[in-house]
Amino acid sequence: FCLLFQGLRQISQRTISTASRRQLENRVAEKQKLFQEDNGLPVYLKGGIMDALLYRVTMGLAVFGKANIKIFMLWSSFQCAN
């Protein structure tokens, strides 16, 4: 048990010390240029193909959910009538 605790402590110290040394590149200026560019796209699609995919999946799930609710309401209205 003591060896396991000591090993975990060494791993945690190692990841914390190496993470603090890494320099992250500042990309805020790039992102500002990308999102402020006037290219006719709405802001939720300016991130690229992943934004478009996420948007389409979200809209598809919303339409699917709305259709399921309407079908369930129709089905339940006929069940109560009998």
d(CA 82, CA 71): 17
Q: What is the mean pLDDT of residues 6-19?
A: 62
- Assess if residue 25 is contained within a domain: no
pLDDT at 77: 86
- Assess if residue 23 is contained within a domain: no
- Assess if residue 2 is contained within a domain: no
Which among 5, 24, 3, 23 has a CA at the least distance from the CA of 13? 5
Structure tokens at 22: 């890494």
The answer to whether residue 25 scores a pLDDT higher than 60 is: yes
- Assess if residue 60 is contained within a domain: yes
> In which band, very low, low, confident or very high, does the pLDDT at 23 lie, cut at 50, 70 and 90?
confident
Give me the number of domains the chain comprises.
Answer: 1
The answer to whether residue 21 scores a pLDDT higher than 70 is: no
Give residue-wise pLDDT tens across range 33-59.
999 999 999 999 999 999 999 999 999
d(CA 41, CA 51): 11
- Assess if residue 62 is contained within a domain: yes
Mean pLDDT of the chain: 83
Q: What is the mean pLDDT of residues 70-76?
A: 92
- Assess if residue 47 is contained within a domain: yes
pLDDT at 22: 64
Domain that holds residue 52: 41-81
